[in-house]
């Protein structure tokens, strides 16, 4: 294949990703209730759950639990909202809109990636909401830290979406999808170290935490926030380069499996 053809094919796929993502963003903007919920969720998760945890569980730690928990909540919201967004693929399946995407001459991976980035819009809104709630709770991040976290957020959304696709890709009805969202998000919140440190996990729970992309996304963001501080060794689990490699590897694997399941489900309606 000539270079020009390759480039044209790449831009075509990129345009498809943007188009699919733009549709989801447009739908989100047309549903103010969804945006309000995306902003309200951090109040519940960060303000109430996080606040209660920091008041009752922060004793005996050699780092500031509030900041630890806030980063956990930010990434948790990112994963949770992206997963919920991905589950709208089941709505598209039920209304046959997925068929419209499936007959288009774009790769199935582009369809899935577009859907993930579209779902990420609500996730970014939630993440902003978490930062705002954090401010009210007296937890601050420097502008540089915020910038770095935002720069990493597309990768984390992709990782969250890819993980969600492995399960959502197999589901054909909305009720099951709603249960699946809980099934995907809740274990991640507890096993990845979002709100509870997992330095002492062992056995099956340790193994499970190591195959969840959220574990590495959290660790990477904490490496950014805690870099150069005395708490770094207590909070960060892995070398950031290893963490980044793990995120990329797991995302690629889950994306391939999730896309395969999605395409298979659509082809065997």
* Chain positions contacting other proteins, by CB under 8 A: 12, 15-16, 18-20, 22-23, 26-27, 30-31, 95-97, 99-107, 266-269
Sign of CA dihedral 103, 106, 111, 117: negative
Q: Which CB sits closer to other proteins, 103 or 144?
A: 103
When the beta carbons of 115 and 222 are compared against other proteins, the nearer one is 115
The Cα 5–Cα 132 span in angstroms is: 46
CB of 24 to other proteins, least distance (A): 10
| C-beta separation of 254 from 213 below 8 A | yes
Residue 23 Cα distances to 2, 186, 214, 256, angstroms:
32, 28, 26, 23
Minimum separation from the CB atom of position 86 to other proteins (A):
17
Which is closer to other proteins, CB of 105 or CB of 230? 105
- Shortest Å distance, C-beta 66 to other proteins: 39
Give the three-class secondary structure for 144.
Answer: helix
Minimum CB separation of residue 34 from other proteins in Å reads 11
Q: Which is nearer to other proteins, 30 or 175 (CB)?
A: 30
What is residue 48's DSSP assignment?
I
What is the closest distance, in whole angstroms, from the C-beta atom of residue 129 to other proteins in the complex? 23
The helix (run of H) or strand (run of E) holding residue 1 is none
Structural contact between residues 185 and 116, judged by C-beta atoms closer than 8 angstroms: no
Output 106 or 133, the one with its CB closest to other proteins.
106
């Amino acid at each position: 294949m000539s270079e020009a053809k390759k480039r044209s094919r790449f831009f075509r796929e990129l345009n498809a990703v943007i188009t699919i993502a733009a549709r989801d963003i447009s739908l989100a903007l047309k549903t103010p209730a969804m945006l309000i919920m995306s902003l309200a969720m951090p109040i519940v998760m960060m303000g109430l759950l996080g606040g209660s945890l920091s008041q009752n569980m922060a004793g005996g730690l050699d780092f500031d639990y509030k900041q630890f928990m806030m980063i956990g909540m930010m990434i948790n919201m990112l994963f949770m909202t992206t997963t919920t967004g991905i589950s709208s693929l089941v709505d598209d399946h039920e209304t046959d809109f997925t068929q419209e995407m499936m007959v288009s001459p774009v790769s199935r991976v582009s369809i899935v990636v577009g859907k993930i980035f579209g779902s990420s819009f609500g996730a970014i809104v939630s993440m902003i909401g978490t930062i705002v709630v954090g401010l009210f709770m007296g937890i601050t991040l420097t502008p540089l830290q915020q910038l770095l976290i935002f720069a990493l957020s597309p990768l984390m959304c992709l990782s969250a979406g890819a993980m969600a696709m492995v399960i959502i890709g197999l589901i054909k009805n909305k009720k099951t999808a709603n249960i699946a969202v809980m099934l995907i998000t809740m274990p991640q919140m507890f096993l990845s170290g979002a709100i509870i440190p997992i330095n002492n996990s062992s056995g099956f729970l340790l193994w499970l935490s190591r195959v969840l992309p959220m574990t590495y996304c959290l660790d990477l963001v904490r490496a950014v926030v805690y870099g150069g501080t005395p708490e770094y060794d207590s909070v960060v689990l892995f070398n950031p380069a290893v963490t980044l490699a793990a995120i990329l590897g797991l995302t690629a694997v889950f994306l391939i499996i999730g896309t395969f399941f999605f395409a298979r489900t659509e082809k065997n309606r």
